Amino acid sequence: MGEEQFIDYVKIFCRSGNGGSGSAHLAHTARNPKAGPDGGDGGKGGSVILKANRNLWTLLHLRYTKHIFAENGGNGQKNKCFGKNGENAYIEVPLGTVVRMVDTDEFVGEVLEDGEELVVMKGGRGGLGNVHFKSPTMQTPRFAQPGEEGVEGWISLELKVLADVGLVGFPNAGKSTLISQLSNAKPKIANYPFTTLTPNLGMVAYRDFQSFVIADIPGIIEGASEGKGIGLRFLRHIERNSVLLYMIPVVSEEGLRTADEIVREWNILRHELEAYNDELLDKRYLVALTKCDLTTPEEVERILTNLPKNIPVMNISSLTNLHLTELKDRLWTLLTSED
């Protein structure tokens, strides 16, 4: 799916329905011209409701939707007939969608499971008919309660991709190649920065018919948390990942890299995540040295030996499948660990 088809943020003006007014009708029959109040209640207004749909993974279908209005409730009628309840307005969204009020930035809620519903704006209550106001001292009330007005305002919908493992790395770190090897995803792959302009999700088959979801997040650059490059647009998606896989190539355009250069790149990536949301540093993680097919095993071993011992790291090659089975094992252990 192209960049123009991946939409992860929209704003929509919404309005819930007004409640119907209660009826102030007084009954008149041939046998009893003063039969008394028989006005029914007004119907409740429809609500604006967010509904999660697992078959959606982008907000593209809402790109040109600017207004969503729920139906007003019907007015009460004579003979104690209630007004019709207004129809709800449903907004179907992908799992992982967050809704906020635009004016106040108030967090309204999020939907994470298929079919889950979230009331964004509640419809107005219907007014009571005059039958409710009859009393020994007021036999024929000639008034009824008006319906409650609905709620209106701008909401923002923000999609945060749901995945078990998120790939984090600079552009051209080999993320797209890895996800194409581990999963059923078929991202665009080329040897230049920003090949990936949209998050790619892939299902990774594991042992005993188990599986997990991996997300190829578009490349972060230094300064992404300050709005540079395209990284800021996609940093929100990393918040949903349970485990982060930092991907750092062992070679650059200048040639083989040193352990110090690799540590520096890892620290930059961590800094960008921390600057965006410091809670991202609390996630479980693994560091993968990529493109190890472009150098000798001896050089890779030398780099590994000189890296700090407190960094969980392994070397891989997506082109030669070097250590990819071990990589899946280690990711699965991180995902299922209770520590």
List domains and CATH numbers for the chain: 3-159 (2.70.210.12), 165-336 (3.40.50.300)
Residue of higher predicted confidence among 203 and 192: 203
Q: Does residue 144 contact residue 53 with C-beta atoms inside 8 Å?
A: no
pLDDT at 244 over 90: yes
What does the pLDDT read at residue 152?
A: 97
pLDDT at 142 over 80: yes
Instruction: Give the residues across from 100 on adjacent strands.
Output: 107, 156
Q: Does residue 141 contact residue 26 with C-beta atoms inside 8 Å?
A: no
Exposure of 240 by Cβ count < 10 A (0-12 exposed, 13-18 middle, 19+ buried)? Answer: middle
Q: How far apart are CA 96 and CA 163, in angstroms?
A: 10
Percentage with pLDDT > 90 across the chain: 65
What does the pLDDT read at residue 333?
A: 95
pLDDT at 232 over 70: no
What does the pLDDT read at residue 240?
A: 84
Tens-digit pLDDT profile for residues 65-75: 999 999 999 99
Instruction: List, in sequence order, the alpha helices (H) in the chain.
Output: 175-182, 231-238, 259-276, 297-306, 324-336
Q: What confidence category does residue 200 fall into, taking pLDDT thresholds of 50, 70 and 90?
A: confident
Q: Which of these ranges, 152-166, 185-199, 273-287, has the smallest mean pLDDT?
A: 185-199
Per the prediction, the chain carries an average pLDDT of 88
The full 3-state SS of 225-274, as one line of letters, equals HHCCCCHHHHHHHHCCCCEEEEEEECEECCEECCHHHHHHHHHHHHHHHH
Give CA 333 to chain center in angstroms: 25
CA neighbor of 195 nearest in space, from 225, 165, 212, 172 = 172
Q: Dump strand ranges (E) for the chain.
A: 9-15, 26-27, 36-37, 48-52, 67-69, 89-93, 97-101, 107-111, 117-121, 152-159, 165-168, 200-205, 211-216, 243-249, 251-252, 255-256, 284-290, 313-315
Give the list of residues 6+ apart from residue 154 with CB closer than 8 angstroms, or none: 11, 12, 13, 14, 101, 102, 103
Residue of higher predicted confidence among 195 and 135: 135
What does the pLDDT read at residue 222?
A: 62
pLDDT at 160 over 70: yes
Q: Pick from 121-130, 168-177, 179-188, 330-339 the range whose average pLDDT is largest.
A: 121-130
Q: What confidence category does residue 150 fall into, taking pLDDT thresholds of 50, 70 and 90?
A: very high
The stretch 28-37 carries a mean pLDDT of 76
Give, as one character, the DSSP assignment of residue 310.
Answer: T
User: What's the pTM?
Assistant: 0.72
Q: How far apart are CA 121 and CA 91, in angstroms?
A: 12
pLDDT at 231 over 60: no
